[in-house]
Amino acid sequence: MDLTLAYRSLVLQVAEHPWVKGLILRRGRGLYRRYVAGETLEEALKAAEALEKEGVHAILDLLGEMVRSEEEARAFQEEILKLVRALAQKPWPRYVSLKLTQLGLDLSEELALELMRGILREAEAAGVFVRMDMEDSPRVEATLRIYEALRKEGFAGLGLVLQSYLYRTEKDLDWILPYRPNVRLVKGAYKEPKEVAFQDKRLIDAEFLHLMKRMLREGVYVAIATHDPRLIGEAKRYTEAMGIPKDRFEFQLLFGVRPEEQRRLAREGYTVRAYVPYGRFWYPYLSRRIAERPENLWLVVRSLLGGLAQNG
């Protein structure tokens, strides 16, 4: 395993420790605002409006995952429907991301499918695009089955995510190609064992480029989701060399990460979206952001030291 992935694995393991989680929830709440728009829908919409003024579109995501009861799942569905209804009133592009474990996937695939249908009925009527995030490897198969079922039922405004670090991803692409999917391509942010995922950053990056180029050749609309300047540069070079118009793909980056790059790409005429999470359940998301880069860990340390000083 290379040092980058070893760092990520260690951080994700430490983040699961109850003492560490409790400390960050108590002392580091100010840090989450670097990557999360806020805890309320109103704060998320305000962040989205600010991005629109800069030429960057927002992907709004209500944070939360792995619910433990049907009641929780239905409560999340209602909150996502509130988001859809709020976006219906906005003049800018309307885009929502969600996780199937918010909607009870771990309880029942049928429950998640039912709740997704309810969201998509309102979303399509309101002109809101919905993307199902891809979670860790044990949940990939069920996510693909639900995507396939919904596309067969005629829901067109639905996207999916594929992760380049999983060995299985090219076969998953073969599975969904007949539906002419809208795919967000990411490297992958979950801690995965060597049995199912590449453990070398160079191999993950190479697979990312291979999948991106194949999808573009196959006519798939690709959301290229990376902050890596080399991968962004290669995507620009490849699409220009192949004569692929800018309306066949877009770039997606995270809220609070390389905002200057987001604005620059938008000025160059590319469609750019920022993934804008919000909500009370921000800790798992923040953990994955900390695990992405060692610099982010230093931000946590500074935030915690500042919190301790203020309370000491």
Domains, the chain, ordered by start: 1-36+290-312 (no CATH), 37-281 (3.20.20.220)
Q: Which of 104, 118, 36, 106 is nearest to 70 (CA)?
A: 104
280 secondary structure, DSSP code: S
**Which uninterrupted H or E stretch holds 50?**
helix 41-53
143 annotated among ligand-binding-site residues:
no
Which backbone phi and psi does 28 adopt, to 5 degrees?
-110, 20
Directed axis angle between helix 229-241 and helix 201-217, to 10°? 30
Active centre residues (catalytic): 133, 184
Residue 19, pLDDT above cutoff 60: no
212 is in an annotated binding site: no
Direct distance between the N- and C-terminal alpha carbons of the chain, in angstroms, rounded to an integer: 40
Q: Is 121 labelled as part of a ligand binding site?
A: no
pLDDT band at 192 (very low <50, low <70, confident <90, very high): very high
Contact 289, 16 (CB under 8 A): no
Determine if residue 210 is labeled as part of a ligand binding site: no
Q: 297 pLDDT exceeds 70?
A: no
DSSP state, residue 227: -
The answer to whether 77 is a known ligand-binding residue is no
Assign 312 a pLDDT band (cuts: 50, 70, 90).
Answer: very low
Q: Is the pLDDT at 100 greater than 60, yes or no? A: yes
pLDDT band at 236; cut points 50, 70, 90: very high
pLDDT at residue 35, as a whole number: 83
Do the annotations mark residue 226 as ligand-binding?
A: yes
CA distance 42 to 79: 12
Rounded mean pLDDT, 186-200: 93
DSSP 197: B
Q: What local confidence, expressed as pLDDT, does residue 124 receive?
A: 97
Q: Cα–Cα distances in Å, from 144 out to 84, 101, 105?
A: 23, 13, 12
Tell me whether residue 40 is annotated as binding.
no
Tokens found for residue 170: 């090219």
Using CA atoms, how far apart are residues 277 and 144, in angstroms rounded to an integer?
A: 23
pLDDT at site 91: 95
